Amino acid sequence: MAVAYRPLQPINDVRVVERLSDDALYWSRMKQMSVFQEPGNVTSTAISPIAPYSIANTSNRQLCIYDSTICEQVGTFTRTKSALYGLGFRQDGGLLSVGGEEGSIRIFDMLQSTQSRRRIAIRMYKGHTCPVHVTGFTASSKSVVSMADDGSIRLWDISADHSKPLRSYDAAHSDHIRCGAMSDSSAHLILSGSYDHTVKLWDTRADDDKPKFTLDHGFPVEKVLFFPNDNLIATAGGQVVRIWDAAAGGKQLHTFEKHHKTITSMALCSNYTRLITGGIDRRINVFKTNDGSFEHIYGMTTPAPILTLDIAKNDQCMAVGMNNLLAIYRHQPVKSKHIPFIGQDSKWKPPVMGDATFVQKTNAPMPTVKNAETGERKMVELTAPKLDRLALGYMDTLMKAGKYNQLVDKMFVERHECYKNPEMVVAALKQLITKGKLKKVLAGRDELSLEPILKFVRKHLYTPAYFDILYEVFDTVLSLYAVEVVTPAVVKVIKRISQQIDLQLKLQKEMRTTIGCLELIIEASQVVKAKAQEKDSIFGDVVVQPILLLSNDSEKAGKMQE
């Protein structure tokens, strides 16, 4: 009985990789959609908190508004003589505040119907004498905060058209203030971060001009933010991100360093359950915040150093400022392969007779058998299923027909498959080894057919999934042509494979030496740790108990009672 031929199965290069987590798969769908060239370095970006999530960015003397849905520029403001900084959207997305080099604060109406009206600031406050890099609206949406390079902080009433602040802190910091945050739940809490390495929490209801507490970040502070309900505070500067407990008076809870250079941006996303950071090391890192572990769950690289970054709260879009480029990212939805069920509520209706799409289906006639004696025909029912004919490629066709020499010539002499599909070539060689035909097909070959085989072995020998098979091929070639005279080209390839093997052996030896050193270090640290635990188990924790001191009268009274 003939046995059905089984086609060749490709041998893929299976490498040891960790399975991507759900978070990694989720963030890998954040794809770059558009890149815009700006007139200068992008100094600030902000995304509207409500749909359709308009993106604002400042570069040099230009303020641009982009539509994140179509990734196109929809507005521009250039009526200024100096650079613009410090963008901030109001909670309803209706107003946009921006600072500048000249020390003024402008407010724009984002709900204006015409583009010409959007270019005109509805409010402009002049209360600083130096550049303003931070602006933002309070939770009440009735006031705006500005922070300047001279360390001063101002609180403005947006309903007033004069430049008189509601509250001023003239010496809030001793260095430039380059970041700040306004609480989303309280209209009176303000957070400021400065290049003097400190972060301060201000309460505008207090009578004095002193902060509620001061945090020492240890580096020039580039970004600060509040967590929901103002329980936690995050500060970023240098290569460090620190998490502080605001309810405990500024107690440090966690520190993580996942950047190699200065962190310039930080924001909350995924509905306040994730923390995203960006730095000039061209890295974007995402951390988990909802369970308190602050675990690093994803990282990606960008083409240039990140100067500023912002992301929508539901991760729908992200804006990244890199030098003079603004990149807009959008979160791509999962491509569903599910075929919907056609139920009673479905709009699909079967075609009826008379429609153009209607096809009348008829059953095939039943086969008949003619009786040789009576001449009568009798219908029979076929019970054995008819197997579909398998379409084989040329490699499977030659392998099935036993034309092994032609198969090897087709793979290596024409050199199409060995470059395009090495996994199929290795699968064919494995089949030849299994059939015991490898030595036969490799014997008696000339330079033109032997050299490509050796070059293929040299290229893919140390691929983990191919090593055993290609090692058998190379060993067979050496055993066949060891006593024969071969051309210099073949000898050159064999020498290169030999050098490659020597280099690999040297590398393995160095790796074993390194592993041995690491094991000594780990064992030494474990011994030290075990000794420390042993001391603790012997002596225990130090417990201090008070000693009661009694006077002479109390001692006599005690003896009389006895």
The model's pLDDT over 537-559, given as tens digits with 9 standing for 90+, comes to: 555 555 555 555 555 555 544 54
What is the DSSP secondary structure assignment for residue 158, as one 8-state letter? T
CB 68 within 8 A of CB 327: no
Residue 165 has pLDDT above 70, yes or no: yes
Tell me the pLDDT band of 376, cut-offs 50, 70 and 90: confident
**What percentage of the chain exceeds 90 in pLDDT?**
45
**Angle subtended by helix axes 394-401 and 422-435, to nearest 10:** 10
Q: Which residues pair with 278 in a beta bridge?
A: 265, 284
- C-alpha dist (Å) from residue 526 to 108, 521, 523, 530, 533: 62, 9, 5, 6, 10
pLDDT: is 19 or 269 the higher one? 269
Compute the radius of gyration of the chain from its Cα atoms. Answer: 38
What per-residue confidence (pLDDT) applies to 75?
87
36-45, 108-117, 473-482: which has the minimum mean pLDDT? 108-117
Tell me the pLDDT band of 17, cut-offs 50, 70 and 90: very low
Buried/exposed 196-225: b ≥16 CB within 10 Å, e otherwise: bbbbbbbebeeeeeebeeebebebbbbbbb
What per-residue confidence (pLDDT) applies to 1?
45
CATH class belonging to 16-331: mainly beta
Q: What is the pLDDT of residues 266-299, one digit of tens each?
A: 999 999 999 999 999 999 999 999 888 899 999 9
Q: What is the pLDDT of residues 447-472, one digit of tens each?
A: 888 888 888 888 888 888 888 899 89
Residue 96 has pLDDT above 60, yes or no: yes
What per-residue confidence (pLDDT) applies to 535?
61
Mean pLDDT estimate for the chain: 84
Domain ranges of the chain: 16-331, 396-503
What per-residue confidence (pLDDT) applies to 157?
93
200-209, 213-222, 535-544: which has the minimum mean pLDDT? 535-544
Tokens 């001692």 belong to residue: 555
Tell me the pLDDT band of 416, cut-offs 50, 70 and 90: low
What per-residue confidence (pLDDT) applies to 389?
57
The answer to whether the bond into 546 is cis (omega within 30° of 0) is no
Residue 342 has pLDDT above 60, yes or no: no
Stretch 473-487: mean pLDDT, rounded? 84
Residue 361 corresponds to which amino acid? K
